[in-house]
Structure 1
Amino acid sequence: MPSFTPRRKPGAKKLARFGRRKLDAAGNPVRRRGIYLLPNAFTTAALFCGFYAIVQAMNLRFEQAVWAIFIAMVLDALDGRVARLTNTQSEFGAQYDSLSDMVSFGAAPALVIYEWSLRGLGKAGWIAAFIYCAGAACRLARFNTNIEVVDKRYFQGLPSPAAAALVAGFIMMMSDFGISGLEVSWFSFVVALFAGLTMVTNVPFYSFKDVNFRKTVPFITVFLIALVLALLAIDTAKVLWPLFVLYGLSGYVIYLVRLVKGKPVSIIQTGEEALRADERL
């Protein structure tokens, strides 16, 4: 009897090749590229908060916009730590974190303070908002490029979350006092300019990254932490903004102290110590 070669269906070879796992030179299966879910979920949540703040500002709901920025700060502080604890650091996560920070701590605060107060100043208002936004972009770009050579104990310039807290905290405190944005337009102008320009200076700000939570501390430290938490619970709006103002001025104090003592003002690292690429703002 004549034999017939079975005909393969069109695309059968492609399907077989698609289902076959790739092997490396040693014959071991190659792991497919992907992204880690847990840390990037925190980053996505922070990005959503920044976008939500922009939407609420456009709807003139500034209290919700301000709280969204603060929630984004908490989430931004968690994503890097979660990645290190679970050993899920990746270059994708580092870049995604920077883009999320640009929205949450760059574009969102600039738009919120513009809609709340700076709109009444005309060109001066949107220029101040743009300077803040551009300062945040330059700050994040410089952080990504200098991460291997900067002393990890300090930030080079004001961190973008702290700058966003200066802007958002100011709006929160003025709203708590019942003061509208139009009444303090020029003060808002100064706050936006100060935050935006301080982000791109070389002033060192303490990063708290060398704090070891496993070491013992004096009893007064625990008492001070409890006192701050109690004050925040009593009146969050009136306590939170002054704390970030103190931090925003602390860099200039460190700069002047170093200058007076003749110590190097630059925090560009000359030793072998370097930051890991996952230690984002």
Structure 2
Amino acid sequence: MGQAPRRFRFTPRKLGPRERPRLGGLSFNRLLPNLLTMLGLCAGMTAIRFAIEARWEPAVTLIVVAAFIDGIDGRLARLLQATSRFGAEFDSLSDFLCFGVAPAFILFLWTLHDARGLGFIPCLLFAACMALRLARFNAAIDAPAAPGTVPRPAGFFTGVPAPAGAGLALFPIFAALTFEGWGLDRLAAAMRHPVFSTVLLVAIAGLLVSTLPTWSFKKVKIPRQAVLLLMLGAAAYAALLVAEPWAALAAAGFVYMGMIPFSLRSYRQKLEAARLAMPSEAESPAA
């Protein structure tokens, strides 16, 4: 008798972890901060378009939207561990357009063109100082601290940051829209005078490139007894922002300018504390 034919059963072999095919590319989590930065860039460009069409309210609203996006894209990148040199450079280029070029362009079309060719000078100065401020910020990322110097206290910007500078530059438009809504046409016309916007732009340009320390609000500690008061103030401001958005934005500029002396005092106190904490030359070990 002949032997029965053998039956072969095919069993698929499982691939090991190194043999499994992988798709190249970046995950969506790593792309999300850059996508937000792109949205902010589009908001700045669209604001320029609305300014050309003399639609001032949507123009300045989009600058505020770009500032909001700029405030969350960096924090989101750190949260998702998606920080990169490309993202930092892209964010700076977007900031230059949204907070350097767009506000100056809006103000020029809104009022400064009435000053003939002289109205373009403060706009150019503001944009140039914004570019210098962003370039200095990028250069400071890789610059090591000099040995023996007192470390700079954390939680402070050098000069006024870009979104705050754009908001301060647009203060005349916020105030004019507020006064127009309240029926105060004379005050609205005063806010639209080219001299006022010129002086304001030059002053803010100086603050952008200055070494004045300003709070970054990232590591500011709130006392426990002030937490409830802060939450109530935030709720009141949110209500004002809904009821009178232009008045709320104009008031934010006043509050920010009023906080600069306090941030300077806090910076000096922390710098002096860091200087006293450093060992003196006599206490340092001999080489």
* Interval of TM-score (by shorter of Structure 1 and Structure 2): 0.7 to 0.9
Unaligned residue ranges in structure 2 (runs of 5+): 1-17, 146-151, 181-187, 279-287
- Letter of the 2:231 counterpart: V
Aligned match of 1:17:
none
Structure 1 residues 124 and 224, CA, compared in 2 at 3 Å: closer, same or farther? same
- Letter of the 2:213 counterpart: P
Aligned match of 1:174:
176
Contact 1:117–1:181 under 8 Å retained in 2: no
Determine the C-alpha separation between the residues in 2 that align with 1:119 and 1:165.
Answer: 20
Determine the C-alpha separation between the residues in 1 that align with 2:69 and 2:80.
Answer: 16
Answering whether residue 221 of structure 2 is matched by residue 218 of structure 1, we say no
* Displacement of 1:221: 2.1
Aligned match of 2:156:
154
Q: Deviations over 1:59-85 (max 9, x none)?
A: 211111100100001111111111112
* Displacement of 1:117: 0.9
From 251, 259, 262, the equivalent of 1:250 is: 259
Contact 2:175–2:250 under 8 Å retained in 1: yes
- Letter of the 2:93 counterpart: L
Greater relative contact order structure (CA < 8 Å, 6+ sep): 1
User: For 1:229, what is the secondary structure of its paired residue?
Assistant: helix
* Displacement of 1:183: 4.2
Structure 1 residues 225 and 60, CA, compared in 2 at 3 Å: closer, same or farther? same
Structure 1 residues 72 and 262, CA, compared in 2 at 3 Å: closer, same or farther? closer
Contact 2:168–2:253 under 8 Å retained in 1: yes
User: For 1:89, what is the secondary structure of its paired residue?
Assistant: coil
Determine the C-alpha separation between the residues in 2 that align with 1:70 and 1:103.
Answer: 13
Determine the C-alpha separation between the residues in 2 that align with 1:253 and 1:126.
Answer: 34
Determine the C-alpha separation between the residues in 2 that align with 1:77 and 1:258.
Answer: 23
Structure 1 range deviating more: 42-51 or 242-251? 242-251
Determine the C-alpha separation between the residues in 1 that align with 2:245 and 2:127.
Answer: 26
* Displacement of 1:216: 9.0
User: For 2:242, what is the secondary structure of its paired residue?
Assistant: helix
Structure 1 residues 262 and 100, CA, compared in 2 at 3 Å: closer, same or farther? closer
- Letter of the 1:172 counterpart: F
Contact 1:54–1:108 under 8 Å retained in 2: yes
Answering whether residue 129 of structure 2 is matched by residue 135 of structure 1, we say yes
Q: How does 1:17-166 map to 2 (within 5 A)?
A: 36-147=30-141, 151-166=153-168
Identity %: 32
Structure 1 residues 77 and 263, CA, compared in 2 at 3 Å: closer, same or farther? closer
TM-score (norm 1): 0.75
Answering whether residue 206 of structure 2 is matched by residue 186 of structure 1, we say no
* Displacement of 1:29: 9.5
Contact 1:56–1:65 under 8 Å retained in 2: yes
Determine the C-alpha separation between the residues in 2 that align with 1:113 and 1:74.
Answer: 20
Structure 1 range deviating more: 168-177 or 109-118? 168-177
Q: Deviations over 1:8-41 (max 9, x none)?
A: xxxxxxxxxxxxxxxxxx9999996658321111
Aligned-residue CA RMSD (Å): 3.2
- Letter of the 1:177 counterpart: F
Structure 1 range deviating more: 170-179 or 196-205? 170-179
Aligned match of 1:202:
211
TM-score (norm 2): 0.73
Determine the C-alpha separation between the residues in 1 that align with 2:217 and 2:192.
Answer: 36
Contact 1:109–1:168 under 8 Å retained in 2: yes
Aligned match of 2:7:
none
Determine the C-alpha separation between the residues in 1 that align with 2:158 and 2:109.
Answer: 29
Structure 1 range deviating more: 99-108 or 114-123? 114-123
Which protein has the larger Cα radius of gyration, Structure 1 or Structure 2? 2
Determine the C-alpha separation between the residues in 2 that align with 1:154 and 1:59.
Answer: 38
Q: Deviations over 1:134-189 (max 9, x none)?
A: 11101101111123655431110000100111122431221232335884211111
Answering whether residue 244 of structure 2 is matched by residue 235 of structure 1, we say yes
Determine the C-alpha separation between the residues in 1 that align with 2:176 and 2:245.
Answer: 12
User: For 2:193, what is the secondary structure of its paired residue?
Assistant: helix
- Letter of the 1:238 counterpart: A
Aligned match of 1:278:
none
**Number of residue pairs the alignment of both structures matches:** 240
